[in-house]
Structure 1
Amino acid sequence: MKDRELLVLAARAADDKRAEDIVVLNMQGISPLADYFVICHGNSDKQVQAIAREIKEQAHEVQIDVKRMEGFEEARWVLVDLGDVVVHVFHKDERDYYNLERLWGDVPREDIAEELGQ
């Protein structure tokens, strides 16, 4: 699966569980960790867990291994590592605090609204 398809799969899975403010940062040539960061948030611990779980399940359906998932039990900032795509699922309060979009403010954003049907 190509990186673009993987990031759309992750974003669509998050969208399926009503994740809010889904942002995709193109990290190619900027970070050795991943080509794309997908950032989103939920409004409760249960929603954050549901979003992360859905991403993991949809990845497994297409035989993509989740390299690791961190922070699931606390449900404040769940990191889902899909290899070239890393998904950050925040609780709304934590997203405001860490503000990754500001931290990586000079990184280009990917427009995936069409793929999400928005």
Structure 2
Amino acid sequence: MAAQSLASRTPEADPVSALHNLVLSSLEDDQAIETVSIPLEGKSSIADHMVIASGRSTRQVASMAQKLVERMKGELGRGARVEGLPAADWVLIDAGDVIVHLFRPEVRSFYNLERMWAFGEAPQPPNPAHA
């Protein structure tokens, strides 16, 4: 498969990739910690990508979420549903094709969404019938 140049990638040509790339670049610009993107296409109908990242404080988490929503609206004309912004321990941004979870590190560690969405990549518990 030939690599597609960034210049030829337009939101009209591939809106999901454009949204996903915007999310990742926005989080990088805002110095998110441990950003992980989990591909969901073909595994779940809720979205094509789930992005999980952390901020050092509730203030950074809230700022990253607000800037991301503004960038999605300004650059792609896409709105998003946002939950958890007042407390900013865990902010969920549902942009349809991409779902973003922003956490404080302690909260992220507690919920461990990466493990929950591993889809067979996590070790299976032993089967007592074969022990």
Q: Are the equivalent residues in 2 in contact too, given 1:9–1:59 (CA < 8 A)?
A: yes
CA RMSD of aligned residues (A): 1.5
Aligned counterpart, 1:19: 32
Does residue 66 in structure 1 map to residue 79 in structure 2? Answer: yes
TM score, norm. by length of structure 2: 0.77
Equivalent of residue 31 in structure 1, options 41, 44, 48: 44
Aligned counterpart, 1:113: none
The count of residues paired between Structure 1 and Structure 2 equals 108
Higher strand share: 1
The amino acid of 2:71's aligned partner reads Q
In structure 2, do the counterparts of structure 1 residues 54 and 107 end up closer, same or farther at CA, with 3 Å as the change threshold? farther
TM score, norm. by length of structure 1: 0.85
Q: Structure 1 residue 17: deviation in Å?
A: 1.1
| SS at structure 2 position matched to 1:69 | strand
Deviation string 1:51-80 (CA, Å, 9 cap, x unpaired) is: 101111110112432231000001011011
Moved over 6 A (4+): none
| SS at structure 1 position matched to 2:66 | helix
Q: Structure 1 residue 42: deviation in Å?
A: 0.4
Distance, in Å, in 2 between the alignment partners of 1:75 and 1:37 is 18
- Give ranges in structure 1 of 5+ residues lacking alignment: 109-118
| Structure with more contact order per residue of length (Cα contacts < 8 Å, sep ≥ 6) | 1
Q: Computing the radius of gyration over CA atoms, which structure comes out larger, 1 or 2? A: 2
Distance, in Å, in 1 between the alignment partners of 2:120 and 2:104 is 23
Greater alpha carbon shift after TM alignment, 93-102 vs 57-66? 57-66
Percent of paired sites with the same residue:
35
Distance, in Å, in 2 between the alignment partners of 1:3 and 1:43 is 28
Q: Structure 1 residue 46: deviation in Å?
A: 0.2
Equivalent of residue 92 in structure 1, options 105, 108, 111: 105
- Give ranges in structure 2 of 5+ residues lacking alignment: 1-10, 122-131
